[in-house]
Amino acid sequence: MKLNKILTLMLLLVFSMGFAQQGKKQSKKLNTKKVQVVESIKVSKIADELPSTVVATSLKDSTVFDLKDMALARKKDSLWLKELYKSDLFDDIYNSVVNQEYDAVDYDELPTAVLKQRLKELDARTPFKVEYSPSLESIIKQYLKNRRGSLERLMGLSEYYFPMFEQELDKNNLPLELKYLAVIESALNPSAQSRVGATGLWQFMYPTGKMFGLDVSSYVDERSDPIMSTEAACKYLKSLNTSFNDWDLALAAYNSGPGNVSKAIRRSGGKTNYWSLRDFLPRETAGYVPAFLATMYIFEYAQEHGFKKKSTRIPYVATDTIKVKQQITLDQVAKLTNLDKEELAFLNPSYKLGIIPVIKDENYMLRLPLTAVGAFVNNEEAIYAFAQEEQQEAEKPLPELYEQPEKIRYRVKSGDYLGRIADRYGVGISQIKSWNGMRSNSVKVGQNLIIYPKKGTQDIASNAPLKTNTTSEKTYTVRNGDSLWSISQRFPGVSVQNIKKWNDISGSNLKPGTKLKIYKG
């Protein structure tokens, strides 16, 4: 092994610990303990090449924080992420708009008189025509009665997205209430794609996106970039309002195109009130503005209706961007920063294959939590060296007569998301997307995925190693003083992560007498 490779790995050893420490500086009293290994770095490989004194010193000086609440906090984070990355809301909202019914709904919690008063108040403080009608009352009550769970999830997502929307809307002197349009358009999913190809938070078609400066390439779809697509949406909405001089018609034109609104005006005999020409618009657009107004009402009066917002784990203001200097994958960034892969994909949704390219005259950015930005910048050389070396390793011909590893077909189950599947099979999110021609990180229950598992990883269906390997199962009984790391050292080729996955362990605490499954081979 070359000296520069050794130094790079040593830097990454320190770097990985730096992230762990940086995220915990806020605690008043922190207990530390000495450790003999850092899981994310294969220290044993370094030991073969370095003098024993260097290795001993570096390991002796390694420390990690022993926070008793970390397992619980991580479990809560995992549950939040699981909810966050569900991809079912987009279809739900799209279908509710297209197939909207307007029958009377029994919902005693919201008397008609109270609704009329609130709509009147809302009308006074917005430029939109918020007038009571039995149709609008029907939609509002349907949402309140049947979609509370979905609305709470959307309110949680809005905690991240709305601040950036409001910033751009204010900069363009547009009504801040237009932020609710993205809820109707995409269910606040930057990877959402409609049946006709509209993409992103603001659902731009390819030609319209190009018209407003959004580029699409093999690696990047700027329609899925939250900031860039919001800037484009502001320009488009402003131009539509200039053309129609009416926000209701501008919204209708945003949904179905200005041509359809102009035709509806002609067919209605020249009427320019949305509610008067609504019957002449496409069915989806006829339900579009009422759905927007109903969503605005519920978000504005969420507290009165007992909604509890799930606050985001990382607010938008607690993130920042770094200009990428060399090509790197989100999988590599996740590995080096100890961040969740799905969380990185959430923060950087415009990279279709999970790869951030470096292209002349383009400034592609990596968005990270603020807690990770400083350490990333301070260790850029080591990070890019690691990424380049890993890429070179990946490009080498496959061993065993260049045979492709045996592939499996995995059927997506309820609760699955791409990061979980990738972890189970020891592969990257970008690899799964590439193997299956996927453009977004969304998966649906019942979807079939082709996967080329890393040797020794589990079969997600049986929670045991893949049958392509010769394995033997052993049961180990936890003793006093045992830790996951000390147990892993008893079995060659077994890692802490293996033991956690085989036994469905989320934390690091073990009770004496616990039976653990260990797979060898």
Give the catalytic positions in this structure. Answer: 185
| Of residues 300, 460, 382, the one with CA closest to residue 13 | 382
Contact 307, 144 (CB under 8 A): no
In 191-323, beta strands by DSSP E: 319-323
Contact 89, 189 (CB under 8 A): yes
Element spanning 44, H or E: helix 43-47
| Of residues 74, 165, 156, 145, the one with CA closest to residue 105 | 145
Phi, psi for residue 451 in degrees, rounded to 5: -135, 140
In whole angstroms, give the CA distance from residue 428 to residue 415: 19
In whole angstroms, give the CA distance from residue 354 to residue 364: 13
Q: Which residues pair with 64 in a beta bridge?
A: 33
| Of residues 184, 168, 273, 313, the one with CA closest to residue 231 | 168
Instruction: List all residues 6 or more positions away from 125 whose beta carbon is below 8 Å from its beta carbon.
Output: none
442 SS3 class: coil
Contact 229, 201 (CB under 8 A): yes
In whole angstroms, give the CA distance from residue 429 to residue 439: 11
